[in-house]
């Protein structure tokens, strides 16, 4: 068998062993609203009939219940979070302990940071 003179790096990278993506999270919430996942998707094209171009989601880690809000602009995310917080905390009779997001920019304002400090909401 003749060995190739040139070693192709893409071939070698393809042959490397990789760790598989974990099937389960290392930590899960043990009560409702202990951990809430938030994300925003958009801008979507075409926009909806009512000119909504973004989708904002909140998912409770324990129950996996999802709340979805349709937004015209990304800047509406903070106000919708406040509305979500009021309604979900009444429904569950508890408070949001931790909010996990992907730091996409929708929840990075100083105003949002102060709101979380006042209401004792940790952010991931």
Q: Which two tokens stand for residue 37?
A: 């996942």
Question: Mind listing the pLDDT tens digit for each residue in 17-72?
Answer: 667 666 666 678 889 999 999 999 889 888 888 899 999 999 999 999 999 999 99
Contacts of 62 (CB under 8 A, 6+ apart): 28, 29, 30, 31, 32, 34, 35
Q: Are the CB atoms for 65 and 71 separated by under 8 Å?
A: no
**CATH class as words, domain 27-123:** alpha beta
Indicate the domain borders of the chain.
27-123
From CA 119, how far away is CA 116, in angstroms rounded? 5
- Its pTM stands at 0.75
Confidence bin at 15 (pLDDT 50/70/90): low
Q: Give the whole-angstrom CA distance, residue 9 versus residue 56.
A: 41
**Which strands form 66-71's sheet, in the order they lie side by side?**
66-71, 54-60, 36-41, 98-100, 122-123
Residue 11's pLDDT is what?
Answer: 67
Percent of the chain whose pLDDT exceeds 70 = 78
């Amino acid at each position: 068998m003749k060995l190739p003179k040139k070693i192709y790096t893409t071939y070698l990278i393809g042959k490397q062993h990789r760790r598989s993506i974990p099937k389960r999270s290392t930590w899960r919430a043990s009560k409702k609203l202990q951990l809430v996942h938030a994300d925003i998707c958009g801008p979507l094209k075409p926009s909806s009939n009512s000119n909504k171009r973004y989708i904002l989601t909140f998912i409770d880690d324990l129950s996996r219940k999802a709340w979805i809000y349709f937004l015209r602009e990304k800047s509406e995310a903070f106000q919708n979070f406040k509305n979500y917080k009021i309604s979900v905390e009444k429904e569950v009779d508890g408070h949001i302990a931790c909010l996990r997001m992907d730091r996409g920019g929708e929840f990075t304002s100083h105003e949002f940071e102060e709101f979380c400090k006042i209401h004792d909401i940790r952010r991931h």
